[in-house]
Amino acid sequence: MLADSCEAALRSLKDATHEEALQMVNKILRARWQDNQLVDSGLSREDMAKIAEVFVRVWEQVNHKRIAYPKGVFSAR
């Protein structure tokens, strides 16, 4: 549930910094926490901070930008 919500929100970001992405994820996690959706999860507030950081790191790895190669560099011979 947490990963799905955060992934959808992060996909909507364009050129976001690590801090902007982390802020968005923390907002989502905080909303779930405040709605008592995580009462039976066994997660602590400290766990939530770790989860947010990992979600953003994974998003950054998947969403990395590729460098533009000059035309003709990989042309068939």
Q: What is the pLDDT along the chain (77 residues), one digit of tens a residue?
A: 999 999 999 999 888 899 999 999 999 999 999 999 999 999 999 999 999 999 999 999 887 666 677 776 666 55
Task: Write down the domain spans for the chain.
Answer: 2-63
Q: Which of 23, 38, 17 is nearest to 6 (CA)?
A: 23
CA-based Rg of the chain, rounded to a whole angstrom? 17
pTM: 0.78
Q: Which of 20, 40, 23, 21 is nearest to 31 (CA)?
A: 23
Could you list the beta-strand ranges (E) of the chain: none
